Amino acid sequence: MKIYNTQDIRNIALLGGAKSGKTTLAEAMAFEGKAITRMGSVDDKNTASDYRDIETEKQISVTASLLYAEFNDRKINILDTPGTPDFIGEPIGALHAVEAGVVLVNATSGIEVGTEIIWRRAAKLETPILFAVNQLDHEKANFEDTIRQLKESFGPKVTVVQYPVATGAQFDAVVDLVLQKLITFPKDGGPAVLSEIPESERPRADEMYKLLVEASAQGADDLMEKYFETNDLTIDEMRRGIKLGLGNRSVFPVMCVSAKQNKGVARLLEFIGYNVIPPTEGRGLTTKDGNPYTCDPAKPMTAFIFKTAKEPHIGDIAFLKVMGGEIAEGMDIVNTCTGNKERISQLMTAVGKNRVKVDKAVAGDIVLTMKLKDAKFNQTLAAPSESTVFADIVYPEPIFTTAIKAVNATEDEKLGTALNEMHQADPTLRVDYSRELKQLLLSGQGEYHISIAKWILDNQYKIATEFITPKIPYRETITKTAEAMYRHKKQSGGAGQFAEVSLYIEPYEEGMTPQTKYPIRGTETVDLPWGGRLVFNNCIVGGAIDARFMPAILKGVMEKMEEGPLTGSYARDIVVNVFDGKMHPVDSNEMAFKLAGRNAFKEAFKNAGPKILEPVYDTDVNVPTDRMGDVMTDLQGRRAMVMGMESDGAYQTILAKVPLAEMNRYATTLSSLTSGRAAYGMKFAEYAPVPTDLQAELLKAYEASAAQDEE
Ligand SMILES: Nc1nc2c(ncn2[C@@H]2O[C@H](COP(=O)(O)OP(=O)(O)OP(=O)(O)O)[C@@H](O)[C@H]2O)c(=O)[nH]1
Ligand SMILES: [Mg+2]
């Protein structure tokens, strides 16, 4: 394949709602760009982009694919991303490798949630956006409605560049206001035909053109001035305004296509080639130390790994955006994140599943490389003299968690390895072993996300797995003071064991006044690894217990703190005052005092108004105003405490404190309450006592499971 210069490369990501037609458009673009000779279709499961087993099985995109088109002496790299909101990590990753996003909008169903989420990301990254209204051939297509919705959601900078003369079965021509031509698509395929705009379309075309001129003036200050003075621009000025406006996000042009019938796709490629900024003019990336880094072929070689994948027969694939210099086969480089030396053994460009070898790639290009020893997403490859490290792509926090285990316990290790590999391919899929809950936790962007992960485990890794509701990390504490004495005494044959401990426990509070009932002779404060504190006071008088036994008593108390007396959860926020005890000259030892300390603490705890605490999360739910009522009622059913409300256009944000135990499957419920139009986030806030009836339930459940363990 020909090597293109930086200036002749354009990078776009196809974004937008689920099933809006991105993969179909990518296929048509690759076809128009001579990268494939025949167009496949999603319905026939033979597109270049949706080739993975899971994608042909479900007929959706799950992973971003790289494709390209060669058009008018330019190479256009295309990242086809999934639209299902559960796979949001893919378009987010892709946005870090492109200079423009092409947002597809389905003319039959309008804007979808996923589109709004990715829109906000693009805004943050200052990525230029153009819209492609797709499926105009569909009988239910409605262009006017779609434009109205686009303007409602994304504001007045949404600018119509083309409009269809008719939609549905009659969709065979668009008026292109930039070219000032009618573009007709021949019935039996083949290149589109350009002609003068017919008289019958003139009034509409003129009216739309006025709006286009006004919008294009936003692209540059001099155009704005001229427009204010004369209320008009020349055609060339209008074109310059659109190009600049797309680049600086003051214009969001709208194009028209039927991806499936390959109508309008060549013109879209031409528009992209002409108007999208070259890589050198893009915002570039940020380095780890916060400096902007623009793409530049004159810099030493640097490349950012914005995605990794693993494929059968190939192994690990790294997706690179070359940011500086050029990268070539056989080159010795360094991974600046790990310091590891690597050699580039293979460079490829791709049309989805079909990969094409290239000898080198220049700054601005997007390429694949295989067989690196150890490369992960978010890492930087560079010339050995370089130390640049690019900042990480920030992925959204998980919103759905399940515990998972292998049906066959001997496959636990295999499962761990598989899940870690899957995390490398999809950073939003997270896996954690909780030592506290003794569960392997799998988290992602929704229940569907996790169910797809299970499909991959079942079918690709061939590991049978089971999902279990994750346990809640409860805590235990006390609400009043109590005393207890415990005597540990054992007389068996030779040496006996003896220790007696009396202690007085109180609830710990930040800044509390120390008790005066027993004189405190020494204090040890333990910041507990699971949160909260244990204050351990030595109040022994007259040498009732030797100082050398105190650490053993503390150890015993800590053991019981680690496995709380009520339900085995961690205990927290307690003051223990050891005020008396007894020793035996021969039989007393550390082991005996540990046991006595542990049991005395357990006794006292039970009489100190023990309470189970549960984690409570600060939760913000972003809901369309018309669904507020349902979402609110549901939240109240989850013991939520509503803290406030914020209005945000057609959306409201509910701020609430909700117990984690009530949030299981919330993503799924919220999605069905709002037809997928809401989003939410959660952050740990505090531990709070559980209601009495729930405490009784938890105690019963723990006793039952403890009894079972003993059997
Ligand atoms: N009538 C019509 N159908 C289309 C058009 N483009 C795509 N489709 C159909 O819409 C469905 C979804 O198309 P895809 O290309 O998979 O959509 P997508 O946006 O890639 O979907 P995800 O990646 O899963 O979000 C398929 O059945 C396509 O055949 C179009 O222009 N017209
Ligand atoms: Mg797709």
Q: What is the pLDDT at residue 710?
A: 63
Q: Percent of the chain beyond pLDDT 90?
A: 89
Residue 522 clears pLDDT 90, i.e. is over it: yes
- Rounded to the nearest angstrom, the distance between the alpha carbon of 90 and the centre of ligand 2 is 11
CA–CA distance, 6 with 361 (Å, rounded to integer): 9
pLDDT at position 592 is 96
Per the CB < 8 A criterion, the answer to whether 298 and 313 are in contact is no
How much is the pLDDT for 665? Answer: 85
For ligand 1, say whether the CB of 259 is within 6 Å of any of its atoms: yes
Q: How confident is the model at residue 370 (pLDDT cuts 50, 70, 90)?
A: very high
> Could you give the CA distance from residue 147 to residue 169 in angstroms, rounded to a whole number?
20
CA separation for the pair 180, 551 (Å, rounded): 87
Q: Is 84 in the pocket of ligand 1 (CB under 6 A)?
A: yes
- Tens of pLDDT, residue by residue over 52-107, are 999 999 999 999 999 999 999 999 999 999 999 999 999 999 999 999 999 999 99
- Cβ atoms of 164 and 185 within 8 Å: the answer is no
User: Average model confidence (pLDDT) for the chain?
Assistant: 95
Question: Does ligand 1 come within 6 angstroms of the Cβ of 24?
Answer: yes
* DSSP-assigned letters across all residues of 457-502: HHHTS---EEEEPPPP--EEE-SS-EEEEEEEEE--SSS-EEEEEE
C-alpha distances in angstroms, 485 versus 42, 70, 577, 606?
74, 84, 12, 13
Q: What is the pLDDT of residues 302-317, one digit of tens each?
A: 999 999 999 888 899 9
% of the chain with per-residue pLDDT over 70 = 99
CA of 60 to the centre of ligand 2 (A): 6
- Residue ranges and CATH numbers for the domains of the chain are 6-281 (3.40.50.300), 285-382 (2.40.30.10), 400-468 (3.30.70.870), 476-609 (3.30.230.10), 612-693 (3.30.70.240)
501, two tokens: 């401990």
Is pLDDT of 10 > 80?
yes
378 lines ligand 1 (CB under 6 A): no
Rounded to the nearest whole angstrom, what is the distance from the C-alpha of residue 343 to the centroid of ligand 2?
A: 33
For residue 562, count CB atoms less than 10 angstroms from its CB and return exposed for 0-12, middle for 13-18, buried for 19 or more. middle
Residues 327-349: tens digit of each pLDDT: 999 999 999 999 999 999 999 99
Q: Taking the CB of residue 370, how many other CB atoms lie within 10 A of it?
A: 16
Could you tell me which of 613, 611, 667, 606 has the C-alpha nearest to residue 638?
667
For residue range 526-580, what is the model confidence (pLDDT) as tens digits?
A: 999 999 999 999 999 999 999 999 999 999 999 999 999 999 999 999 999 999 9
CB atoms within 10 A of CB 41: 14
In the prediction, which pLDDT does 682 show?
87
- pLDDT, residue 117, reads 82
Element (H, E) at 537: strand 533-538
Single-letter amino acid code for the residue at 604: A
Q: Which of 114-118, 232-236, 277-281, 471-475 has the lowest mean pLDDT?
A: 114-118
Contact 48, 27 (CB under 8 A): yes
For residue 83, the CA-to-ligand 2 centroid distance in Å is: 7
Pick the atom of ligand 1 nearest to 263's CA.
Answer: 31
Bridge partners of residue 576, in order along the sequence:
505, 536
Cα→Cα distances 150→159, 209, 316, 380, Å: 10, 18, 39, 37
Residues whose CB is less than 8 angstroms from the CB of residue 345 and which lie 6 or more positions away in sequence, other chains included: 329, 330, 369, 370, 371
